Amino acid sequence: MHNILNRCQANKGFRCHSRRPLASISPEKFDKLPTKHCKLLKRYCFPAIIENDFVSRNEDNHSVSFWTWLSKNLNAFYQFSRPHTIIGTIVGVTSVSLLPVEIAADLSPIFWMGLLKALLPAILMNIYVVGLNQLFDVEIDKVNKPYLPLASGDFSMTTGVALVVLSSLMSFAMGFMFQSPPLMYALLISFLLGTAYSVELPLLRWKRNAFLAASCILSVRAIVVQFAFFMHIQKYVFGRPAVLTKPLVFGTAFMCFFSTVIALFKDIPDVDGDKYFGIQSFSIRLGPERVFRLCINMLLLAYGIAMVVGASSSSIYSKLLTVLGHFTLASILWFRARSIDLTNKESITSFYMFIWKLFYAEYLLIPFVR
């Protein structure tokens, strides 16, 4: 008897004369089993089996609940970080960091470590800027972007504040630790302009003014990123004197056009919420259609100038790649712009994300301008 109970509780698959596993026998069929041993199993072991099965299922449910919770929060953080801006930062910083590279030997471990030191604090500062904007735009985002975690309730305000504060502190800590003045200046300027753009305080909340809002985005994306990260690699990684190169000047000028377009276009799908909360964007003051046409014309002009600059290169390889590359991007933009429906918010948002893809593509071309 004792041996039977031990084997049962150990769940070793003890079998009766019926040759059926103990765990597979239902309570109703235990009475019909022919042996004395099986009747004893029914009396002493079946309740233990039920209890063990309940505990096992409870543990499985707990495991599923944990992974569901983790997946939900990771997805919420993904949305909170505004991934298209993170990708823009990664592509932009990497592209600009490649501009000081003169020969293949420059792509040494020292370069890659210097690039990593630039990327990590830049990404964290990006999270601070977009996260801070969400903290002060919760009510607007409930109209314009209800899928964002603070607007949808996936994150509490406390969680949002914690993420924003932690991101900024970690960014500055890395910038200080890496001892690169251009990198530190880039982080500080991004912090100040990002704060001025979003925070609801006297003389701040610059996003309410169309010109100041566009100036914030242009300053960071077109000027700070280009010069600061170029100088970080050129002087504090390679140890070379600071110089202005043709690719750097071209990249800065082109990104002035592109950053202005992003600053203007991002407000087109948000007209309803911005109008209700008193945000005087260019899309509200001029109308979405006029702003859209302005953005497309600015980009086409920028691509035209880029083709002229590319054609002036002394390198055949650089000339072909930059001219054909910009011509291809301009053609895609032209055909895509003809199909947009400015009365459909989803169509406008889709086109806005397409502009970000053009932004990434341009950073792939800039290092080849020589």
Residue 166, pLDDT score: 97
Per-residue pLDDT tens for 240-251?
Answer: 998 889 999 999
Residue 19, pLDDT score: 44
The yes-or-no verdict on residue 184 having pLDDT over 80 is yes
Distance CA 94, CA 83 (A): 16
Residue 152, pLDDT score: 93
The yes-or-no verdict on residue 6 having pLDDT over 70 is no
Residue 91, pLDDT score: 95
Please tell me whether residues 170 and 117 are part of one structural domain.
Answer: yes
Domain extent, residue 204, equals: 81-241
Please tell me whether residues 228 and 129 are part of one structural domain.
Answer: yes
Select from 241, 270, 303 the last residue of a domain.
241
Distance CA 321, CA 108 (A): 25
Per-residue pLDDT tens for 212-237?
Answer: 988 998 899 989 999 999 999 999 99
**Within a domain: 237:** yes
User: CATH number of the domain that 151 lies in?
Assistant: 1.10.357.140
- Burial label for 147, CB within 10 Å (0-12, 13-18, 19+), is exposed
Where do we find the tokens 């003169």?
102
Residue 161, pLDDT score: 97
Per-residue pLDDT tens for 89-136?
Answer: 999 999 999 999 988 899 999 999 999 999 999 999 999 999 999 999
**Within a domain: 74:** no
Distance CA 152, CA 285 (A): 29
Q: What is the pTM (predicted TM-score) of this model?
A: 0.78
**Cα dist. 258→66, 133, 345 in Å?**
43, 21, 22
Q: How confident is the model at residue 286 (pLDDT cuts 50, 70, 90)?
A: confident
Distance CA 259, CA 213 (A): 11
Residue 345, pLDDT score: 85
Phi and psi, residue 15, nearest 5°: -115, 140
Per-residue pLDDT tens for 43-99?
Answer: 555 555 555 555 556 555 666 688 888 889 999 999 999 999 999 999 999 999 999
Per-residue pLDDT tens for 301-329?
Answer: 999 999 999 999 888 989 999 999 999 99
Please tell me whether residues 223 and 95 are part of one structural domain.
Answer: yes
| Nearby residues of 15 by Cβ (< 8 Å), 6 or more positions away | 21, 22
Please tell me whether residues 260 and 353 are part of one structural domain.
Answer: yes
Average the pLDDT over 345-364 and give the result: 92
* SS3 at position 15: strand
Please tell me whether residues 311 and 252 are part of one structural domain.
Answer: yes
* SS3 at position 25: coil
Average the pLDDT over 176-202 and give the result: 95
**Within a domain: 117:** yes
Please tell me whether residues 134 and 43 are part of one structural domain.
Answer: no
Please tell me whether residues 94 and 228 are part of one structural domain.
Answer: yes
Select from 215, 241, 267 the last residue of a domain.
241
Please give the structure tokens belonging to residue 185: 């200046």
Please tell me whether residues 204 and 309 are part of one structural domain.
Answer: no
Q: How confident is the model at residue 186 (pLDDT cuts 50, 70, 90)?
A: very high
Please tell me whether residues 272 and 299 are part of one structural domain.
Answer: yes
Q: How confident is the model at residue 198 (pLDDT cuts 50, 70, 90)?
A: very high
Select from 209, 241, 273 the last residue of a domain.
241
The yes-or-no verdict on residue 2 having pLDDT over 60 is no
How many domains does the chain contain in total? 3
* SS3 at position 21: strand
Which of the 8 DSSP states describes residue 287? -
Per-residue pLDDT tens for 12-38?
Answer: 444 444 444 444 555 555 455 555 555
Please tell me whether residues 301 and 216 are part of one structural domain.
Answer: no
